[in-house]
């Protein structure tokens, strides 16, 4: 049952002890897409992930993976999921290869001949796969964990804090491998992380939840700014004193050296430039400064911590 949407949540809710934890949560992740899953402490990220991987039941709604509903076709749905929650569980005194053989025996379905070698090459562990895992760096262990999660060709790979403990080099290496995996394997990757700058570098899109609700969504890579999306616009002006009324109307804030900024939609920029010029104000430069993911996150969650 192949579908463009690798995973869909539709009206998912969870109540524990009479307290609503997840409230009517709906979103989807496409094949080949890397999607960030963000939220402050206690926002419901972990609860949502547990429901996705079948460790917790839903109170209402539906989760579909590769088109299979988790509630009614659990085994078929979960056969399409690979997941790592924080550090992968590996056997340190066994080689990387023996670890994979062990996990292949426990996989939801048969692992085809040659799949292990294919995945090992994909995650860049060919030269170290016969070494004991205790000799691996943390980054290598993460990649071996990802290899284990990919053995059965899942449709969705769910990673909870995958860069925990990695140095900058290890983070960059993991980022490159995940991008390659999404493209090569055509799988959806959902990453839960509190490292907003890293999510901005690796993900195509970010979902932001707070108090169990989806409060925002942001295209972070490869997406054009929508005409009605608010962006920070910087104007370099001269003679603005003559147009103070226009400046106030559009919320232009004076910075320094003739620079003014305002939060505007792209569609409003031509009109304000036309009015400024019409009032004898010289417009030397207009620059769009798209807010960072951190800006968006803090705005939507009112500054709460993302961890």
DSSP string, 199-237: HHHH-SEEEEEETTEEEEEEE-SS-PPPTTSEEEEEEEE
End-to-end CA separation in angstroms for the chain: 36
Q: Which of 130-144, 174-188, 217-231, 278-292 has the lowest mean pLDDT?
A: 217-231
- Average pLDDT on 120-134 reads 93
| Residue-range domain boundaries for the chain | 5-219, 230-288
Q: DSSP letter string over 69-120?
A: ETTTSHHHHHTTEEEEESS----TTSBHHHHHHHHHHTSSSPPPTTHHHHHH
Residue of 278, 285, 223, 242 lying closest to 260 (CA atoms): 285
- Say if residue 252's pLDDT is above 80: no
Average pLDDT, the chain: 86
Q: Are 282 and 238 in contact, with CB atoms under 8 Å apart? A: yes
> Higher-confidence residue: 219 or 3?
219
d(CA 300, CA 72): 35
- Say if residue 188's pLDDT is above 90: yes
- Say if residue 137's pLDDT is above 80: yes
d(CA 255, CA 235): 10
Give the distance from CA 26 to its chain's centroid.
Answer: 15
Please report, rounded to a whole number, the percentage of residues in the chain having pLDDT higher than 90: 46
Please give the helix or strand (H or E) that residue 180 lies within, else none: helix 168-185
Residue of 205, 211, 200, 229 lying closest to 304 (CA atoms): 211
Give the model's pLDDT for residue 275: 85
Angle at 146 between CA 144 and CA 148, to 5 degrees: 70
What's the pLDDT band for 224 if we cut at 50, 70, 90? very low
Give the model's pLDDT for residue 165: 76
Edge to edge, the sheet with strand 188-192 lists: 81-85, 156-160, 188-192, 34-38, 205-210, 213-219
At 263-286, the pLDDT tens digits run 777 888 888 888 888 888 888 888
Give the model's pLDDT for residue 162: 85
- Average pLDDT on 4-17 reads 94
Angle at 29 between CA 25 and CA 34, to 5 degrees: 125
At 174-187, the pLDDT tens digits run 888 889 889 888 99
At how many degrees (to 10) do helices 138-150 and 168-185 cross? Answer: 20
* Look-up of token digits 């839960």: 192
Strands 259-265 and 253-254: antiparallel
Give the model's pLDDT for residue 65: 96
- Say if residue 304's pLDDT is above 70: no
At 26-82, the pLDDT tens digits run 999 999 999 999 999 889 999 999 999 989 999 999 999 999 999 999 999 999 999
Give the model's pLDDT for residue 208: 94
Please give the helix or strand (H or E) that residue 156 lies within, else none: strand 156-160
Residue of 146, 150, 134 lying closest to 95 (CA atoms): 134
Note the pTM of the prediction, 2 decimals.
0.78
- Average pLDDT on 140-146 reads 91
At 100-120, the pLDDT tens digits run 999 998 887 788 888 999 989
């Amino acid at each position: 049952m192949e579908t463009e949407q690798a995973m869909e949540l539709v009206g998912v809710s969870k109540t524990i002890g009479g307290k609503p934890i997840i409230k009517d949560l709906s979103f989807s992740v496409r094949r080949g897409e890397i999607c960030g899953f963000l939220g402050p402490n206690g926002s419901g990220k972990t609860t949502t992930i547990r429901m996705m991987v079948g460790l917790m039941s839903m109170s209402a709604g539906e989760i579909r993976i590769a088109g299979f509903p988790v509630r009614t076709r659990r085994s078929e749905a979960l056969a399409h999921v690979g997941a790592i929650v924080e550090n992968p569980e590996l056997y340190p005194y066994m080689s990387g290869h023996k670890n994979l053989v062990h996990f292949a025996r426990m996989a939801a379905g048969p692992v085809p001949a040659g799949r292990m070698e294919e995945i090992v090459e994909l995650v860049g562990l060919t030269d170290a796969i016969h070494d004991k895992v205790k000799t691996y760096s943390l980054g290598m262990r993460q990649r071996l964990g990802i290899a284990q999660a990919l053995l059965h060709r899942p449709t969705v790979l769910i990673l909870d804090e995958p860069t925990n403990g990695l140095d900058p080099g290890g983070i960059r290496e993991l980022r490159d491998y995940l991008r390659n995996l999404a493209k090569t394997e055509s799988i959806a990757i959902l990453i839960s992380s509190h490292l907003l700058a890293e999510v901005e570098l690796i993900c195509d899109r970010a979902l932001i939840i707070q108090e169990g609700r989806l409060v925002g969504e942001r295209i972070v890579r490869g997406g054009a700014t929508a005409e009605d999306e608010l962006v920070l616009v910087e104007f370099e002006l001269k003679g603005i004193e003559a147009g103070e009324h226009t400046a106030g109307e559009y919320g232009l804030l004076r910075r320094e050296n003739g620079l003014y900024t305002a939060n505007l939609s792209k569609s409003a920029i031509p009109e304000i430039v036309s009015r400024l010029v019409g009032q004898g104000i010289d417009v030397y430069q207009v620059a769009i400064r798209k807010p960072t993911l951190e800006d968006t996150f803090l705005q939507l969650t009112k500054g709460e911590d993302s961890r």
